[in-house]
Amino acid sequence: MAVKPFLKWAGGKHRIANIILAELPPGKRFVEPFAGSATLYLNAPFKQALVSDRNRDLIALYRCIQTEGASFIDHCRSFFSGENNCKERFYELREQFNRSNDLRERAALLLYLNRHAFNGLVRYNSGGEFNVPFGRYKRPYFPLTELSAFHAKTRETKTRFIAEDFRAVFAKLKPGDVVYCDPPYVPLSATANFTAYVGTSFGPEDQKDLAALALKASRQDIPVIISNHDTEFTRTLYFGARIMGFAVHRSISCNGSKRGAAPELLAIYN
Protein backbone atom coordinates (compact mmCIF):
# COMPACT_ATOMS: atom_id res chain seq x y z
CA MET A 1 0.00 0.00 0.00
CA ALA A 2 1.33 3.42 -0.95
CA VAL A 3 2.47 5.86 1.73
CA LYS A 4 -0.28 8.45 2.25
CA PRO A 5 0.34 12.19 1.81
CA PHE A 6 -0.46 14.49 4.75
CA LEU A 7 -2.53 16.89 2.63
CA LYS A 8 -5.98 16.40 1.16
CA TRP A 9 -5.70 17.06 -2.55
CA ALA A 10 -8.08 17.24 -5.50
CA GLY A 11 -6.86 14.66 -7.99
CA GLY A 12 -4.45 13.08 -5.49
CA LYS A 13 -2.70 9.94 -6.69
CA HIS A 14 -2.74 7.74 -3.59
CA ARG A 15 -5.23 5.25 -5.06
CA ILE A 16 -3.29 4.77 -8.29
CA ALA A 17 0.27 5.32 -7.06
CA ASN A 18 1.16 1.66 -7.58
CA ILE A 19 -0.03 1.79 -11.21
CA ILE A 20 2.20 4.78 -11.91
CA LEU A 21 5.16 3.45 -9.95
CA ALA A 22 5.08 0.24 -11.99
CA GLU A 23 5.72 2.32 -15.12
CA LEU A 24 8.61 4.36 -13.70
CA PRO A 25 11.95 3.12 -15.04
CA PRO A 26 15.04 3.14 -12.82
CA GLY A 27 17.11 6.31 -12.71
CA LYS A 28 19.31 8.53 -10.57
CA ARG A 29 16.86 11.35 -9.79
CA PHE A 30 13.08 11.58 -9.59
CA VAL A 31 11.67 14.86 -10.94
CA GLU A 32 8.10 16.01 -10.22
CA PRO A 33 7.18 19.41 -11.77
CA PHE A 34 3.58 19.38 -10.40
CA ALA A 35 4.06 18.19 -6.83
CA GLY A 36 0.57 18.63 -5.41
CA SER A 37 0.36 16.36 -2.36
CA ALA A 38 3.63 14.68 -3.47
CA THR A 39 2.30 11.12 -3.33
CA LEU A 40 4.64 9.91 -6.06
CA TYR A 41 7.64 11.56 -4.44
CA LEU A 42 6.77 9.83 -1.16
CA ASN A 43 6.67 6.42 -2.83
CA ALA A 44 9.19 6.59 -5.68
CA PRO A 45 12.36 4.59 -4.88
CA PHE A 46 15.01 7.16 -5.85
CA LYS A 47 17.96 8.49 -3.84
CA GLN A 48 17.63 12.00 -5.29
CA ALA A 49 14.60 14.16 -6.12
CA LEU A 50 13.68 17.53 -7.58
CA VAL A 51 10.15 18.46 -6.50
CA SER A 52 8.45 21.60 -7.80
CA ASP A 53 5.09 23.32 -7.80
CA ARG A 54 3.84 26.76 -8.78
CA ASN A 55 2.21 27.07 -5.34
CA ARG A 56 4.88 28.81 -3.24
CA ASP A 57 2.99 28.18 0.00
CA LEU A 58 3.00 24.46 -0.70
CA ILE A 59 6.74 24.40 -1.39
CA ALA A 60 7.37 26.51 1.73
CA LEU A 61 5.43 23.92 3.74
CA TYR A 62 7.55 21.09 2.33
CA ARG A 63 10.75 23.01 3.01
CA CYS A 64 9.76 23.73 6.62
CA ILE A 65 9.09 20.05 7.25
CA GLN A 66 12.39 19.17 5.60
CA THR A 67 14.50 21.64 7.59
CA GLU A 68 12.72 21.76 10.97
CA GLY A 69 11.12 18.34 11.27
CA ALA A 70 9.39 17.63 14.60
CA SER A 71 9.50 21.22 15.87
CA PHE A 72 7.59 22.52 12.85
CA ILE A 73 5.16 19.60 12.99
CA ASP A 74 4.43 20.49 16.63
CA HIS A 75 3.88 24.11 15.59
CA CYS A 76 1.34 22.96 12.99
CA ARG A 77 -0.41 20.80 15.59
CA SER A 78 -1.03 23.88 17.76
CA PHE A 79 -3.63 25.12 15.26
CA PHE A 80 -5.64 21.90 15.55
CA SER A 81 -7.72 22.67 18.61
CA GLY A 82 -11.40 22.69 19.43
CA GLU A 83 -11.47 26.48 19.64
CA ASN A 84 -10.04 26.77 16.12
CA ASN A 85 -12.62 24.38 14.67
CA CYS A 86 -15.42 26.88 14.27
CA LYS A 87 -16.55 29.13 11.44
CA GLU A 88 -15.50 32.41 13.04
CA ARG A 89 -12.00 31.25 13.96
CA PHE A 90 -11.50 29.59 10.56
CA TYR A 91 -12.16 32.86 8.74
CA GLU A 92 -9.89 34.75 11.14
CA LEU A 93 -7.04 32.33 10.43
CA ARG A 94 -7.78 32.37 6.71
CA GLU A 95 -7.50 36.16 6.76
CA GLN A 96 -4.27 35.88 8.76
CA PHE A 97 -2.91 33.56 6.08
CA ASN A 98 -3.93 35.89 3.26
CA ARG A 99 -2.36 38.95 4.92
CA SER A 100 0.87 37.28 6.03
CA ASN A 101 4.20 37.65 4.22
CA ASP A 102 5.93 35.19 6.55
CA LEU A 103 6.54 31.94 4.64
CA ARG A 104 6.74 29.81 7.77
CA GLU A 105 3.47 31.21 9.14
CA ARG A 106 1.74 30.72 5.81
CA ALA A 107 3.09 27.16 5.59
CA ALA A 108 1.65 26.14 8.96
CA LEU A 109 -1.66 27.86 8.25
CA LEU A 110 -1.89 26.15 4.85
CA LEU A 111 -1.99 22.78 6.60
CA TYR A 112 -4.66 24.06 9.00
CA LEU A 113 -6.73 25.46 6.13
CA ASN A 114 -6.37 22.30 4.07
CA ARG A 115 -7.70 20.14 6.90
CA HIS A 116 -10.49 22.51 7.97
CA ALA A 117 -11.70 23.89 4.61
CA PHE A 118 -14.57 22.53 2.52
CA ASN A 119 -13.58 19.24 0.85
CA GLY A 120 -9.94 19.86 1.70
CA LEU A 121 -9.54 22.08 -1.34
CA VAL A 122 -6.52 24.30 -1.90
CA ARG A 123 -7.75 27.15 -4.08
CA TYR A 124 -6.83 30.80 -4.57
CA ASN A 125 -8.70 33.63 -6.28
CA SER A 126 -7.21 35.85 -8.99
CA GLY A 127 -5.76 38.10 -6.29
CA GLY A 128 -3.80 35.21 -4.79
CA GLU A 129 -6.04 34.85 -1.71
CA PHE A 130 -7.08 31.47 -0.32
CA ASN A 131 -10.86 31.46 -0.74
CA VAL A 132 -12.19 28.02 0.21
CA PRO A 133 -15.02 28.21 2.80
CA PHE A 134 -15.17 26.48 6.19
CA GLY A 135 -15.68 22.73 5.98
CA ARG A 136 -17.66 22.05 9.19
CA TYR A 137 -15.81 18.86 10.17
CA LYS A 138 -16.57 17.47 13.62
CA ARG A 139 -12.93 16.74 14.45
CA PRO A 140 -10.36 17.53 11.72
CA TYR A 141 -7.58 14.94 11.61
CA PHE A 142 -4.06 16.05 12.40
CA PRO A 143 -1.84 13.93 10.10
CA LEU A 144 1.07 13.30 12.48
CA THR A 145 1.94 9.90 11.02
CA GLU A 146 1.87 11.24 7.47
CA LEU A 147 3.89 14.35 8.35
CA SER A 148 6.50 12.20 10.07
CA ALA A 149 6.69 9.94 7.01
CA PHE A 150 7.20 12.97 4.78
CA HIS A 151 10.00 14.26 7.00
CA ALA A 152 11.62 10.83 6.99
CA LYS A 153 11.49 10.77 3.20
CA THR A 154 13.29 14.13 3.00
CA ARG A 155 16.02 12.71 5.24
CA GLU A 156 16.37 9.49 3.25
CA THR A 157 16.33 11.19 -0.15
CA LYS A 158 18.50 14.09 -1.28
CA THR A 159 15.61 16.37 -2.19
CA ARG A 160 15.44 19.89 -3.57
CA PHE A 161 12.08 21.68 -3.36
CA ILE A 162 11.54 24.58 -5.76
CA ALA A 163 8.57 26.77 -6.76
CA GLU A 164 8.92 27.14 -10.52
CA ASP A 165 6.94 26.76 -13.72
CA PHE A 166 7.16 23.33 -15.34
CA ARG A 167 9.06 24.81 -18.29
CA ALA A 168 11.85 25.94 -15.96
CA VAL A 169 11.91 22.49 -14.35
CA PHE A 170 12.29 20.77 -17.74
CA ALA A 171 15.20 23.11 -18.49
CA LYS A 172 16.97 21.63 -15.45
CA LEU A 173 16.70 18.01 -16.60
CA LYS A 174 19.81 15.92 -17.08
CA PRO A 175 20.66 12.33 -18.03
CA GLY A 176 19.55 9.87 -15.35
CA ASP A 177 16.38 11.81 -14.50
CA VAL A 178 12.96 10.18 -14.46
CA VAL A 179 10.03 12.62 -14.70
CA TYR A 180 6.43 12.28 -13.52
CA CYS A 181 3.95 15.06 -14.36
CA ASP A 182 0.52 15.49 -12.81
CA PRO A 183 -0.66 18.76 -14.38
CA PRO A 184 -4.10 20.32 -13.91
CA TYR A 185 -6.32 18.03 -15.93
CA VAL A 186 -8.06 18.70 -19.22
CA PRO A 187 -11.77 19.03 -18.30
CA LEU A 188 -14.10 16.15 -19.09
CA SER A 189 -16.91 18.66 -19.71
CA ALA A 190 -17.46 22.42 -19.93
CA THR A 191 -18.66 22.48 -16.30
CA ALA A 192 -15.92 20.27 -14.83
CA ASN A 193 -12.90 22.53 -15.19
CA PHE A 194 -10.68 23.08 -12.13
CA THR A 195 -7.29 24.47 -13.12
CA ALA A 196 -6.71 27.51 -10.92
CA TYR A 197 -5.59 26.29 -7.52
CA VAL A 198 -2.72 28.81 -7.52
CA GLY A 199 -4.82 31.64 -8.90
CA THR A 200 -3.75 31.19 -12.52
CA SER A 201 -5.27 29.00 -15.22
CA PHE A 202 -3.63 26.09 -17.00
CA GLY A 203 -5.02 26.06 -20.52
CA PRO A 204 -4.66 24.13 -23.79
CA GLU A 205 -1.42 25.89 -24.76
CA ASP A 206 0.14 24.86 -21.45
CA GLN A 207 -0.98 21.29 -22.07
CA LYS A 208 0.59 21.39 -25.53
CA ASP A 209 3.84 22.87 -24.20
CA LEU A 210 4.08 20.11 -21.60
CA ALA A 211 3.52 17.37 -24.19
CA ALA A 212 6.15 18.89 -26.47
CA LEU A 213 8.69 19.09 -23.65
CA ALA A 214 7.98 15.49 -22.64
CA LEU A 215 8.55 14.30 -26.21
CA LYS A 216 11.77 16.31 -26.46
CA ALA A 217 13.05 14.92 -23.15
CA SER A 218 12.30 11.34 -24.18
CA ARG A 219 14.33 11.84 -27.35
CA GLN A 220 17.23 12.79 -25.06
CA ASP A 221 16.76 9.49 -23.17
CA ILE A 222 14.97 11.14 -20.23
CA PRO A 223 11.71 9.20 -19.63
CA VAL A 224 8.56 11.19 -18.81
CA ILE A 225 5.15 10.02 -17.62
CA ILE A 226 2.12 12.35 -17.65
CA SER A 227 -1.25 11.81 -15.98
CA ASN A 228 -4.43 13.34 -17.40
CA HIS A 229 -8.05 12.68 -18.21
CA ASP A 230 -8.59 10.22 -21.03
CA THR A 231 -10.23 12.35 -23.72
CA GLU A 232 -10.04 12.74 -27.47
CA PHE A 233 -7.94 15.87 -26.94
CA THR A 234 -5.36 14.15 -24.71
CA ARG A 235 -5.20 11.07 -26.94
CA THR A 236 -4.26 13.40 -29.81
CA LEU A 237 -2.01 15.56 -27.63
CA TYR A 238 0.15 12.64 -26.52
CA PHE A 239 0.63 11.17 -29.99
CA GLY A 240 4.30 10.38 -29.34
CA ALA A 241 3.67 8.36 -26.17
CA ARG A 242 2.44 4.93 -25.19
CA ILE A 243 -1.03 5.39 -23.68
CA MET A 244 -2.41 3.44 -20.74
CA GLY A 245 -6.06 4.10 -19.92
CA PHE A 246 -8.00 3.19 -16.76
CA ALA A 247 -10.82 4.40 -14.51
CA VAL A 248 -10.22 6.24 -11.23
CA HIS A 249 -12.67 6.87 -8.40
CA ARG A 250 -12.95 10.53 -7.43
CA SER A 251 -12.85 11.22 -3.66
CA ILE A 252 -13.05 15.04 -3.80
CA SER A 253 -15.92 16.70 -5.63
CA CYS A 254 -18.21 19.61 -4.82
CA ASN A 255 -21.14 17.39 -5.80
CA GLY A 256 -21.23 14.18 -3.78
CA SER A 257 -23.43 12.47 -6.38
CA LYS A 258 -20.64 12.87 -8.95
CA ARG A 259 -17.91 11.12 -6.96
CA GLY A 260 -17.74 8.19 -9.34
CA ALA A 261 -15.18 6.71 -11.69
CA ALA A 262 -13.51 8.97 -14.26
CA PRO A 263 -11.46 7.93 -17.30
CA GLU A 264 -7.77 8.69 -16.87
CA LEU A 265 -4.62 7.88 -18.79
CA LEU A 266 -0.88 7.74 -18.46
CA ALA A 267 1.14 9.06 -21.38
CA ILE A 268 4.44 7.20 -21.20
CA TYR A 269 7.37 8.72 -23.07
CA ASN A 270 10.45 6.49 -23.01
Domains of the chain: 17-55+156-269 (3.40.50.150), 67-144 (1.10.1020.10)
Residue 255 and residue 259: Cα distance in Å, rounded? 7
Check residue 133 and give its pLDDT: 97
- Sheet of 242-249: strand order equals 158-162, 48-52, 29-32, 177-181, 224-229, 261-269, 242-249
Check residue 148 and give its pLDDT: 98
pTM over 0.85: yes
**Angle at Cα 216 formed by Cα 210 and Cα 220, nearest 5°?**
140
- For residue 127, CA distances in Å to 99, 124, 200 come to 12, 8, 10
The DSSP bridge pattern shows strands 261-269 and 224-229 to be: antiparallel
Check residue 195 and give its pLDDT: 47
CA nearest to 181, candidates 114, 128, 234, 259: 234
CA nearest to 132, candidates 40, 68, 196: 196
CA nearest to 263, candidates 251, 250, 252: 250
Check residue 254 and give its pLDDT: 47
Phi, psi of 31 (to 5 degrees): -120, 125
Check residue 5 and give its pLDDT: 97
Check residue 196 and give its pLDDT: 46
Check residue 33 and give its pLDDT: 98
Check residue 191 and give its pLDDT: 54
Low-confidence ranges of the chain (pLDDT < 50): 194-196, 252-254, 256-257
Longest dimension (CA), the chain: 56
